[in-house]
A and B are shown apart, each in its own frame.
Chain A
Amino acid sequence: MEKHLYRVNFNRKIIVFLVLIIISIGGPRAVAFEALVTNERSGDVIHVDEDGRTNHVVPICNRPRGMVRGLVDSHVIIACSDDHKVITYNRATRTIESEISPVRGAMNIAIHNASSRLFVTNEGAARASAFDLSSGQLIAELPTGLEPDGIAITDDGKTLFVASENAGLVHVFDGSTYEQQGVIKTNLRPRRITLFKKELWVSSEMGSRVEIFDIETHAKRDEVIFAPKGFRPEQMTPVDIAFNDLANEAYIALGSANHIAIVDITTRQITKYILVGRRAWGLGLSPDKQTLIVLNGLSDDFTLIDLQTKRPYLTKRAGLIPHSIKVFE
């Protein structure tokens, strides 16, 4: 019946034109990207494109969690927590290139490209480990507080920061001698640490805030406290932080508050809250910085947000408990 109507009323050119209009207003014209997501419970990595389509599901290891870009563009490095190892995964061939083992309770990863070093937090062992990435040789073991999670190294490789969830501390280490230089006291359950220019942003999951410290002096400069409508203060459980220097914006996933917050980097003001899925925690920014991808840890899906309009436009299924995301051109 409808088919018949179309044939009578529209010629083909008009249909094509209308379809083009619908496509152009229906969704943002995202530049092509490939996002990789680790799913800790289903033990796989999924390859997702700019339309939110999952093109590949690759079984990878037991409890894959932290993930970073490798030394070359086709490589990512993934912490396999229950296998106590770290693997290098080639996203082009979708195969595991190499692995470093044992890495007890491997949780999160940082790499320093210039010196080709890998830093891993060992969740159950209250330490972080440094490895030579090419040889896989263990260089040093650094004692931290209990449940080390977030880890970051400065671009110059001089300073390493490790957050310990249980201890409520960020340990600061010399990047070459591995001597402990000090500790930064944080609020409850520091999760992720992200370096931006001269600042260290730490998400305090149970303290419901992001604390901002000076990289050099370790002094606290500021903090951001959240209050999206309809949620109580203790539901703010921030985890991942992502920076967009082009827009001067920081994005913070608010966990059980099911929102992300957009924060002005300079003024620290929260400019917008965006409702996403349940227990939003992992964040990935597209290479053109037009799309933010949010992993929702309790609803096993991810949400794409258009950063021009600041609106979520698509939510798609992930694997079981999506943990980390990296986005490539």
Chain B
Amino acid sequence: MRSWILLLIIATSLMNHALAASFHLAIVTASNAEESNRGRSFAGIQTRVERPVRRAVELALFESKTSFEAFGIVPELQVVDIDAKRSLKDQLKAIHSNALIILDLPKPEFIETAKLLDERGQTTVNVRHPDIDLRDTLCLPSLYHTIPSERMYFDALGQFLIYRGWRKVLVVHGPTDKDRLRTQILERSLKKFGANISDFREFTLSHHPDDRDKNKPEFLTGDASYDVVAVIDSSKDFGRYIQYSTRRARPVVGDVGLTPAGWHRTLERYGAPQLNERYQSFDQENSLPASEAMSDEEFAAWSAVKLITNSLGTIDAISETLDPRKILAHPDTQVDLYKGTRGSIRRWNNQLRQPILLATGDAVVAVAPMPKFLHPKHYVDTLGLDEPESRCKLR
């Protein structure tokens, strides 16, 4: 059985164009290799929304209909669901050489696939992994990142804490390698903007009285002076219990409480309510309730497609097919992100520039960059790996 299916061909009525150019678009997933169970924590409690990114891609295509008509483009979307038992190379052959390829894969499969496609000069997009190593050391010329990096998320948080005058930060983190790595990234961001770290505390999942210094939030956050508690808990096991249980009455930020985010369902400005409403209702047979919004991964996939369609007017990339390389490599590539500042691409590591939201469950409290954090070239480049500090130097 062929592992790919042609999902959608939107036939458009063409104006002023004798020939239609195809816009090939592929989503590569591995539904059987998923390491996570779609955002669920212990006892099946949903702590994170993890939807396949296809809905967001289809939304972007839906939004681009008038542009496709105006420019004589027919989008063709295919989904390639990787079967681990078969040759990856063979399965990727089904993808058109000019396709924009959205990789929605767990990290090991992601790296393998991105490398393979990079060797063939095919354009891929990371919509899922904020990991810095993918930008700094993997550093593939044909791989773009539309999901913010951890550095962008934590820089936004760091700026917010300084802006609020909460300079003394107690860092509470989980025990996994991922938690420790992300704690280091947080530490760098906090120091970069001038915060002081009161202490690092590692929590342990246990109920044993001997561990109470590490398993009870009241003890974990005791014996220190701090303005705010920053929590790193990648698997959302423990951090959720720290709010309202700290020794001192202090706000909690990081993976719980006030969280940096790429997108949010309650952003009121910049046309965001329109985009959220459309995401819920554009697919009339499968509409979602008003409480649902794109996850950061979905927003990244939506942004990737919109980067192409928003740039059609300014960049000539159409011959027989639309060539995404011509658009993404162009200095004028731009996208309307509904966050008040347009997005563009950082040439040194192919990261999408974008504002970062700081939000609770039901409110966007701030949009970073925060006031007074200024960059000499780009408004949002105080967030993330700036050119001088990037180890990846693509252009």
| A residues in contact (CB < 8 Å) with B | 123-124, 145-147, 164-169, 183, 185-189, 206-208, 231-232, 234-235, 237, 256, 298
* A167-B310 Cα distance, complex, nearest whole Å: 8
Query: Contacts of B344 on A, CB cut-off 8 Å?
Result: 234
Name B341's contact: one of A145, A146, A234 (CB within 8 Å). A234
Binds A, one of B107-115, B186-194, B372-380: B372-380
Given A183-B66, A187-B313, A207-B342, 5 additional A-B pairs, CB 8 A: A124-B274, A147-B271, A165-B271, A208-B342, A234-B341
* A235-B344 Cα distance, complex, nearest whole Å: 13
Contact A232/B277 with A166-B63, A188-B334, A188-B342 known, Cβ cut-off 8 Å:
no
Interface residues on B, range: 20 to 34
Q: Is B184's CB within 8 Å of the partner chain A? A: no
Name A168's contact: one of B313, B341, B375, B377 (CB within 8 Å). B313
Whether A183 lies near B70 (C-beta < 8 A) is: yes
* A183-B70 Cα distance, complex, nearest whole Å: 8
Query: Contacts of A231 on B, CB cut-off 8 Å?
Result: 379
* A207-B314 Cα distance, complex, nearest whole Å: 10
- The B355-395 residues at the A interface (CB cut-off 8 A) are 375, 377-380
Return B40 CB to nearest CB of chain A, in Å: 33
Name B314's contact: one of A145, A164, A187 (CB within 8 Å). A187
* A189-B335 Cα distance, complex, nearest whole Å: 10
How many A-B residue contacts, CB cutoff 8 Å?
65
Query: Contacts of A166 on B, CB cut-off 8 Å?
Result: 63, 271, 274, 336
* A164-B67 Cα distance, complex, nearest whole Å: 11
Query: Contacts of B340 on A, CB cut-off 8 Å?
Result: 237, 256
Return B307 CB to nearest CB of chain A, in Å: 11
* A232-B353 Cα distance, complex, nearest whole Å: 14
Whether B66 lies near A235 (C-beta < 8 A) is: no
Query: Contacts of B278 on A, CB cut-off 8 Å?
Result: 124, 146
Return A187 CB to nearest CB of chain B, in Å: 7
Contact A232/B375 with A124-B277, A147-B271, A187-B314 known, Cβ cut-off 8 Å:
yes
9 smallest CB-CB distances across A and B, nearest first, come from: A232-B379, A206-B342, A167-B66, A145-B66, A206-B336, A185-B313, A188-B336, A189-B336, A234-B341
Return A64 CB to nearest CB of chain B, in Å: 16
- The B54-90 residues at the A interface (CB cut-off 8 A) are 63, 66-67, 70
* A124-B271 Cα distance, complex, nearest whole Å: 11
* A183-B341 Cα distance, complex, nearest whole Å: 26
* A298-B378 Cα distance, complex, nearest whole Å: 22
Whether B377 lies near A167 (C-beta < 8 A) is: no
Query: Contacts of A123 on B, CB cut-off 8 Å?
Result: 274
* A203-B335 Cα distance, complex, nearest whole Å: 16
Return B322 CB to nearest CB of chain A, in Å: 16
Contact A146/B66 with A234-B378, A237-B340 known, Cβ cut-off 8 Å:
yes
Query: Contacts of A147 on B, CB cut-off 8 Å?
Result: 271, 274
Query: Contacts of A165 on B, CB cut-off 8 Å?
Result: 271, 336
Name B66's contact: one of A169, A188, A207 (CB within 8 Å). A169
Name B380's contact: one of A169, A186, A234 (CB within 8 Å). A234
- A183 to B, closest residue via Cβ: B70
Query: Contacts of B380 on A, CB cut-off 8 Å?
Result: 234
Query: Contacts of A234 on B, CB cut-off 8 Å?
Result: 341-342, 344, 378-380
